[in-house]
Structure 1
Amino acid sequence: MPPGDFSNQFDFPAINMAAAHNMFIQGVNAMATHAPYVTDKKVQPFMLFCLTVLGNIHHHHRIEETFYFEALEKKLGEGYLTESKDEHETFVPQIEATESWLEDVRDGKTKYLGSTLLAQINSWADDMVHHLNHEIEKLDRNKIKECFTEKELKAIDSEFMKVALKDANFYTSLPMVLICGNPATPWRVFLSFSNGNMNLSNGCVYLRFPPFPLPLIWAIRYWYSRRHREAWEFGPLDLNGKVKPLPSSPK
């Protein structure tokens, strides 16, 4: 996680981006962790879990490429984030190949094998993590502060959230956000319950990624997650943010 203060608008872009990336890594780690232990009965919900993790990664990249990078480059300079965009091509085609295999399993065209899924993940995971780490370096707080005002950054972030929610599937993408967070991130700190960017859970108040309003968090937990509840069993966290035990019964 980048250094700085999550509430500082100039630190926010790098920390917020790292939190999103961490969510994707958590999801992929969960795919790899559960892969050898999935029983025949659980194959279908596991396929939905995996496809949602990868779908969220694609969704993030689409927003970067169609909105976020352009918004930042207006001040950072044209082409400043071209390298980050180009790096998507070092692993996205391999992710798409994995998605195709997962869809074939889902549709009954091929048999599920945990070893095959692990091999698929290993074909692109290192390149993905390298990209995710490298991208954060481009959002250095000093560079951001040099080019933007706080008001400009808040406007970009607000628009980013609108774009993100506009075509998000509330029954799949949003539950995935809750179950693939990382409770160890250093910006989850105790604060007073006076800021709309905070959440109350288990008697503790902490900064949250993404900064969904509380009514939406509750709606995800108690309504939107119900349709595919079996799929969310594979997340590293439960819907309340508690860390779940590792699988222990091999197929």
Structure 2
Amino acid sequence: MPLDQGPMYTDTPLAVIPTPMYETGEVSKILAAHVKIDLMTRTDIPIQKDAFTLEASKMALSHNAFIRGFNSIYQQAPRVPAPDKADFVGYCIAWHDCVDAHHRYEETAFIPNVNKAAGQTGLMDAAIEEHALFHDGMERFKAYLVKEGADFAPASLLAIMASFMAELHAHLAAEPASIVALARHSTPERPVDILAIADAAARSQIRLGLVFNALPVFYLNMNHAEFEGGMWDGVFPSFRGTGRALLTRGIPLWHARRWRFASCSPEGRVKRLAF
């Protein structure tokens, strides 16, 4: 099947989730300060009053990239021709590694630092417990692909994915609200700068191997130009111009044949799938 003739990506079997910011429609100056946009020229962007709602929305957008990655694998697995299966396996493993890195970021950097800032413990233990519910399924997914490689059986791969997709989606849908709820633990006496904590935690997790071998599966499953009316385009991810080109076109030149299986174009629009 020619690359420009595959079916259009759809949000199935997992539905994408709304951002708390979009759901509340609240407006204030905090997002303008955070992303340095000119509100006089971006009146289409509803700006929320609460940093926790903003961080929760960024988490929801990240989770949607994982959801679209899952869906793109699920939809294409039965159709990938034999000559393209090795590249597809590389894409699948990159998706696993990207999601795994995200949860490692939460458990080892983000959540511990939120607890430290608030002077409490266990504030997001429920999220960590949810990780455990689909961890084994995701490990079976990767182990099967590593073992079988291009000889994987589509039905077997889909069966493994089906075994953990409900728990994965439930977690991805629930976690943003738990970040919004953290606001009650930030007080004038002990403020929690959730945006700074998340940014520092993310930077601490960056590894060169992750950037070239997994990160494209994140950025190329971002529908930022269309999702929620395009209000996130240039806001999250916050890059524009050269930065956007580097992350969506430059870095993906490494293992280029893998990333054609993604659901979105470098411009952040859903596209026809490779197969």
- Structure 1 and Structure 2 fold alike (TM over 0.5): yes
Change (3 A) 1:242 1:137: closer
Change (3 A) 1:39 1:80: same
| Number of equivalenced pairs | 229
- In structure 2, what residue type is equivalent to 1:131? H
- In structure 2, what residue type is equivalent to 1:185? F
Determine which of 135, 145, 160 is the counterpart of 1:102.
145
Residues 137-186 of structure 1, C-alpha deviations (whole Å, 9 max, x = no match): 21125x41651678822321320231232455222222212211124432
Determine which of 140, 163, 180 is the counterpart of 1:140.
180
| 2-structure distance, mates of 1:151, 1:78 | 14
| 1-structure distance, mates of 2:228, 2:204 | 27
What is the Cα deviation at residue 247 of structure 1?
Answer: 5.8
Determine which of 181, 187, 196 is the counterpart of 1:155.
196
- In structure 2, what residue type is equivalent to 1:17? M
Determine which of 225, 237, 249 is the counterpart of 1:222.
249
Change (3 A) 1:32 1:100: same
| 2-structure distance, mates of 1:168, 1:76 | 34
1:119 and 2:146 are equivalent in the alignment: no
Change (3 A) 1:226 1:134: same
Secondary structure of 2:193's match? helix
1:130 and 2:130 are equivalent in the alignment: no
Structure 2 unaligned runs (5+)?
1-17, 32-47
| 2-structure distance, mates of 1:118, 1:245 | 21
RMSD, matched Cα: 2.5
What is the Cα deviation at residue 212 of structure 1?
Answer: 4.3
Partner of 1:181: 222
What is the Cα deviation at residue 25 of structure 1?
Answer: 0.6
Q: Is the 8 A contact 1:175 1:239 kept in 2?
A: no
Partner of 1:193: none
Query: Kindly, what percent of the aligned residue pairs are identical?
Result: 22
Structure 1 unaligned runs (5+)?
191-205
Partner of 1:72: 114
What is the Cα deviation at residue 120 of structure 1?
Answer: 0.9
1:49 and 2:91 are equivalent in the alignment: yes
Taking structure 1 as the reference length, what is the TM-score of the superposition?
A: 0.81
1:172 and 2:189 are equivalent in the alignment: no
| 2-structure distance, mates of 1:234, 1:187 | 24
| 2-structure distance, mates of 1:85, 1:61 | 8
Residues 186-245 of structure 1, C-alpha deviations (whole Å, 9 max, x = no match): 27328xxxxxxxxxxxxxxx2343334653322233322112111111111122323212
What is the Cα deviation at residue 77 of structure 1?
Answer: 3.0
Q: Is the 8 A contact 2:261 2:273 kept in 1?
A: no
- In structure 2, what residue type is equivalent to 1:156? I
Taking structure 2 as the reference length, what is the TM-score of the superposition?
A: 0.75
Determine which of 129, 134, 141 is the counterpart of 1:91.
134
What is the Cα deviation at residue 48 of structure 1?
Answer: 0.7
